[in-house]
A and B are shown apart, each in its own frame.
Chain A
Amino acid sequence: MSGTGGRTLLTVRGLAKRFGGLVAVDDVDFDLDDGEILGIIGPNGAGKTTTFNLIAGALRADAGSIRLRDAEIAGLPAHKVAARGILRTFQHNRPFKGMNVLENLLVGAHRRVRARPWAAALGLPSARREDAALAAAARETLAFVGLGDHAASDVSKLSFGQGRLLECARALMGEPAIILFDEPAAGLTSVEAERLGGVIRGIAARGIAVLLIEHDMRFLLPLAHRVVVLDRGAKIADGTPAAISREPAVIEAYLGRHAGAAA
């Protein structure tokens, strides 16, 4: 099932994670295509965050595979997952506080850097040219997310909503194949959330696949091409936003399983 008809980029099969006796993620399968916006939803404790962390390399799966194109990435540490082209944002914005906005974006470009350490240490022209090119790209990216006036700002000067846009811009700087968003609308005003939705659509329009876990259905349903619904660690639905909102299993998970069980 695909929302965009693009090539399959990420293939998740049989993903599982348990914490002691608790099965947080139980045999989850899904695909993610080029340029697709895929939402993962589910009630509290459904395993959304665990799934996110398994893909991002923050946690190690107990079983299952995560393939980026044809390469297995399950079990790689976070920095290697990022180096392969899967970058993430943080739900509670985590900028590098000792650096200005532009420098934060340049850290995001880490995986694109080609200059060797000694070239950097000697300040060789090749390293400086690369730096200047990345800084120019960073200014474009800031303009794209709507922070064009804040390149030299201290990150502490940004509002929470602007901080979320900085998270997007920093991840974009790595020219990722996939960006993972961890509850991107959390804590935003409706105006800010709408603006962020526009940025996410723009990211997908660039051919970057977007995977987001989200609580807020009013934010997610108009945005996602496809939605995967998790409940108690397992996938209970996978389809277009319109299709999954009609699924009895989804309605039951969201409206309460007692009502469902009695019926």
Chain B
Amino acid sequence: MNAKLAAAIGWLAGAAILAALSLTLTGYHADLFRKLLLTATLAVGYNFQFGFAGQIAFSHYAFYGIGAYAITILSTRFGLALPVAALATIGLSALLALMVAIPANRLEGFYIALATLAFAQLFVVVMVQGGDFTGGPDGLFGFDAPTIFGARLAGANFMLVVSALFLANLALFAALGRSWFGRACRAVRDDPEAAAAMGVDVARTRIAVFTLTSSLAAVAGMAYAFADNFVNPFVFGIDAMFVLLFMVLIGGAGRHAGAVVGCVFLFMLPEYLGDLVGRFHLLAYGILMVVVMMFLPNGIIGLWDRLAKRLRPEPAR
């Protein structure tokens, strides 16, 4: 009961802090805050795909882009009402995810990486070559922030929505992660043959995880479209995807808190690194990542676990 109460207080405190930041931050800091929240939402989902289910996939940012492009095109070009456009976007991204996952899962691990890498590259190419329909290399811009229930989805309203989206993703993946489904995912990651011997349908589990996490990346992408009311194909490229992978690895793959911590760390690092080491900041960033991955195999959260263990006496059995 105590643990339940502590968890409830933790969630409420988190929500209160995010709400307070949403209502007070302005200008550059507001922009950093909402992009950080969107990236953290992606990181939490990618951690489930990669850290829990062990799928080495590179399509997470592509689905983020699919969400952003689809909602913009459907609501501005086709004039669909926002809820209709949102549902259609989710349907489309789920369908695309299935189309990638089903053939990729017939093949083994390495091919999932190749298939999703190809898919991610193809997405950027199609968006760049899409002419007027996708806006080509310039992307889509000049559309208005939508209005929901009379509130314009901009400024503090937008940040509140993104805060709620992040918390909802975190809560969903936390619940899923500690449920039978999360255990089945980790079993499939650790030893697919042994998982099948326990009755876990390995292919179905993999497809379900990929479709769910990819669709939720698209939902985050829908929100991203209205962060600046600007959608550009190069934002969703493979560079960003690798940074997302490093966020999860450095934070601690397979741990929700790790994904969030790793995201905050890598997202904020360039902000401070530039002042510290000037034009060498990219080099410093790279070296730091190599060092962390060499010496902290379980990421920042693994270091935290070790410290906490040292401070606390061994619990009685």
Binding site for B on A (CB under 8 A): 56, 58, 77-79, 82-83, 87-88, 90, 94-99, 103, 106-111, 113, 115, 117, 120-123, 127, 131, 134, 149, 152, 170, 174
User: Are B190 and A99 in contact, CB atoms less than 8 angstroms apart?
Assistant: yes
Q: How far is the CB of B146 from chain A (nearest CB, A)?
A: 27
Interface residues on B, range: 20 to 34
Q: CA of A88 to CA of B194 in the docked complex: distance in angstroms?
A: 9
User: Are B197 and A87 in contact, CB atoms less than 8 angstroms apart?
Assistant: yes
Question: Please, which residues of chain B bring their CB within 8 A of the CB of A131?
Answer: 178-180
Query: Nearest A residue to B201 by beta-carbon distance?
Result: A79
Q: How far is the CB of A113 from chain B (nearest CB, A)?
A: 5
Interface residues of B in 164-179 (CB under 8 A from A): 171-172, 174-176, 178-179
Binding site for A on B (CB under 8 A): 171-172, 174-176, 178-184, 186-187, 189-191, 193-202, 208, 254, 317
User: Are B317 and A107 in contact, CB atoms less than 8 angstroms apart?
Assistant: no
Question: Please, which residues of chain B bring their CB within 8 A of the CB of A77?
Answer: 196
Question: Please, which residues of chain B bring their CB within 8 A of the CB of A134?
Answer: 180
Q: Would A120 and B200 be within 8 Å (CB), given that A96-B191, A110-B184 are in contact? A: no
Q: How far is the CB of A47 from chain B (nearest CB, A)?
A: 20
User: Are B199 and A111 in contact, CB atoms less than 8 angstroms apart?
Assistant: yes
Beyond contacts A77-B196, A96-B191, A107-B183: 13 other A-B pairs, Cβ-Cβ < 8 A, are A79-B197, A79-B198, A79-B202, A99-B186, A106-B180, A107-B187, A109-B180, A120-B175, A120-B180, A131-B178, A131-B180, A152-B317, A174-B198
Among A97, A108, A121, A122, which residue has its beta carbon within 8 angstroms of that of B198? Answer: A108
User: Are A107 and B181 in contact, CB atoms less than 8 angstroms apart?
Assistant: no
User: Are B199 and A122 in contact, CB atoms less than 8 angstroms apart?
Assistant: no
User: Are A174 and B199 in contact, CB atoms less than 8 angstroms apart?
Assistant: yes
Query: Nearest A residue to B54 by beta-carbon distance?
Result: A98
Which residue among A82, A99, A110, A115 has the maximum number of chain B CB atoms within 10 Å of its CB? A110
6 closest cross-chain pairs (CB), A and B: A123-B175, A120-B179, A82-B199, A111-B199, A96-B190, A79-B196
Query: Nearest B residue to A119 by beta-carbon distance?
Result: B179
Question: Please, which residues of chain B bring their CB within 8 A of the CB of A87?
Answer: 197-199
Question: Please, which residues of chain A bring their CB within 8 A of the CB of B187?
Answer: 96, 99, 107
Among A83, A94, A99, which residue has its beta carbon within 8 angstroms of that of B199? Answer: A83
7 interchain pairs (CB within 8 A)?
A96-B187, A98-B186, A107-B198, A110-B180, A117-B208, A120-B181, A174-B199
User: Are A94 and B193 in contact, CB atoms less than 8 angstroms apart?
Assistant: yes
Interface of A is mostly: helix
Q: CA of A109 to CA of B198 in the docked complex: distance in angstroms?
A: 8
Question: Please, which residues of chain B bring their CB within 8 A of the CB of A103?
Answer: 183, 186
User: Are A107 and B184 in contact, CB atoms less than 8 angstroms apart?
Assistant: yes
Q: CA of A115 to CA of B175 in the docked complex: distance in angstroms?
A: 13
Question: Please, which residues of chain B bring their CB within 8 A of the CB of A152?
Answer: 317
Question: Please, which residues of chain B bring their CB within 8 A of the CB of A78?
Answer: 193, 196-197
Question: Please, which residues of chain B bring their CB within 8 A of the CB of A99?
Answer: 183, 186-187, 190
Question: Please, which residues of chain B bring their CB within 8 A of the CB of A174?
Answer: 198-199
Which residue among A108, A111, A113, A121 has the maximum number of chain B CB atoms within 10 Å of its CB? A121
Question: Please, which residues of chain B bring their CB within 8 A of the CB of A117?
Answer: 181, 208
Q: CA of A128 to CA of B88 in the docked complex: distance in angstroms?
A: 32
User: Are A149 and B197 in contact, CB atoms less than 8 angstroms apart?
Assistant: no
Q: CA of A79 to CA of B204 in the docked complex: distance in angstroms?
A: 11
Q: How far is the CB of B195 from chain A (nearest CB, A)?
A: 7
Question: Please, which residues of chain A bring their CB within 8 A of the CB of B195?
Answer: 79, 96, 107
Q: CA of A96 to CA of B175 in the docked complex: distance in angstroms?
A: 20
Question: Please, which residues of chain A bring their CB within 8 A of the CB of B197?
Answer: 56, 78-79, 82, 87-88, 90
Question: Please, which residues of chain A bring their CB within 8 A of the CB of B184?
Answer: 107, 110
Question: Please, which residues of chain A bring their CB within 8 A of the CB of B172?
Answer: 121-122
Query: Nearest A residue to B212 by beta-carbon distance?
Result: A121
